[in-house]
Amino acid sequence: MPFNNHIDVNQFGLNDDWITDLLLDKVGFSPYVRKFTSNYHSLMILEEDIASALDTVARQANHVECVRRLLEILRRGGYLTQLPKPLHFKNQLTSYVQMYLPDCPFEINTTRQYSVIPEGCVTARRPIDRGVIKYLYGFLVSLKEEEEHDLDVTGRNFTIVTSSRSNCSSLFLGPARFVNHDCEGNAELRPANDGMQIVATRYIRIGEEITVKYGSHYFGEDNCDCLCATCASIGRNGWAAESKAEGSTKQSLKPATMKRVSRLRRLRVRDRLTLALCMTCTPRSACFRCQRHLRIYGCRWPYTK
């Protein structure tokens, strides 16, 4: 059942705020996830209770029981009575809980690619072949013109998508909201029955960020203000001035792709051989991501069992 005609935009956003508070902020994600609701106040729920509920999905692969426990925690805290559409909340909650299933091929991580302040991103924690990326999707709610204007003036327009066919805008929330832009993205957004799913367009390696191309003019005319990794690597668009200042002689060449079958085979073999290696850990200490992973799954990144 599509969300578009059945839930208020502000309630849809508040649902996502509660869920990211529960399943990211309160389980060690840093920095805190940006919230849709202005002046959002964190839920008064113990992190130990959330961790106990997550054990059922992360270590027992029972996401249904995890959802049930989380709803019970919210009920005890008096939060469920504030929900006019509890079924919609449960559906949104389930989409985030499934990220912690052992067979989920991705994780929510952080990046400084687009800002000096760490922002959310999605990275692969196992090799991903071309096709639909399991559990990586998001829900859409159509926006009226006045609603979109309100989001613009209040600075809450960070998850708006516009259909190239209908030119209509929608609020896009769920795990897929964390997928960032790259001019040479390794995946793409495709419509699903109640939102959008992420489909890999090529082989994605362990630790690689999952990205999509938002559009040709999303970051100004011809994406002139784009700061994606591809633009950074060749010194164009938002990186062009810096490249010239450093005396760079790089040309705007297309980045290398991984289309050759032989190269894909080598990458797959190397991924299998170096599965337990993290590029950000040091010999003396594990990185923040790996510490969080160990607490949740009880094993080293990227293993889940």
Q: Which domain CATH number covers 237? A: 2.170.270.10
Residue recorded with tokens 């994606």: 228
In a domain, 302, yes or no: no
In a domain, 304, yes or no: no
In a domain, 239, yes or no: yes
Q: Looking at the predicted structure, is the pLDDT value of residue 6 above 80?
A: no
Burial of 196 per CB tally in 10 Å (0-12, 13-18, 19+): buried
Tens of pLDDT along 99-158?
A: 999 999 999 999 888 888 889 999 999 999 999 999 999 999 999 999 999 999 998 988
Structure confidence at residue 241 as a pLDDT band (50, 70, 90)? low
Here the tokens at position 236 are 């164009």
> What is the per-residue pLDDT for 267?
47
Structure confidence at residue 3 as a pLDDT band (50, 70, 90)? low
> What is the per-residue pLDDT for 166?
75
> What is the per-residue pLDDT for 271?
45
Residues spanned by the domain of 95: 9-297
> What is the per-residue pLDDT for 247?
52
Secondary structure of the chain as H, E, C letters? CCCCCCCCHHHHHHHHHHHHHHHCHHHCCCCCCCCCCCCCCCCCCCHHHHHHHHHHHHCCCCHHHHHHHHHHHHHHCCCHHHCCCHHHHHHHHHHHHHHHCCCCCEEEEEECCCCCCCEEEEEECCCECCEEEEEEEEEEEECCHHHHHHHHHCCCCCCEEECCCCCCEEEEECHHHHCEECCCCCEEEEEECCEEEEEECCCECCCCECEECCCCCCCCHHHCCCCCHHHHHHCCHHHHHHHHHCCCCCCCCCCCCCCCHHHHHHHHHHHHHCCCCCCCCCCCCCCHHHHHHHHHHCCCCCCCC
Of the chain, the percentage scoring pLDDT greater than 90 comes to: 64
Structure confidence at residue 255 as a pLDDT band (50, 70, 90)? very low
Cβ atoms of residues 135 and 99 within 8 Å: yes
> Mean pLDDT in the chain?
86
In a domain, 4, yes or no: no
In a domain, 32, yes or no: yes
Structure confidence at residue 4 as a pLDDT band (50, 70, 90)? low
CA–CA distance, 5 with 44 (Å, rounded to integer):
31
Closest CA to 228 of 245, 212, 204: 212
> What is the per-residue pLDDT for 115?
81
In a domain, 3, yes or no: no
CA–CA distance, 50 with 199 (Å, rounded to integer):
30
Cβ atoms of residues 12 and 3 within 8 Å: yes
Structure confidence at residue 237 as a pLDDT band (50, 70, 90)? confident
CA–CA distance, 160 with 171 (Å, rounded to integer):
5
Residue recorded with tokens 């109640």: 194
If one compares 285 and 22, the residue with the highest pLDDT of the two is: 22
In a domain, 305, yes or no: no
Total domains, the chain: 1
If one compares 227 and 257, the residue with the highest pLDDT of the two is: 227
Tens of pLDDT along 168-207?
A: 899 999 999 999 999 999 999 999 887 999 999 999 999 9
In a domain, 2, yes or no: no
CA–CA distance, 131 with 199 (Å, rounded to integer):
5
If one compares 36 and 162, the residue with the highest pLDDT of the two is: 36
252: number of Cβ within 10 Å: 10
| CA 214, chain centre distance (Å) | 14
Structure confidence at residue 265 as a pLDDT band (50, 70, 90)? very low
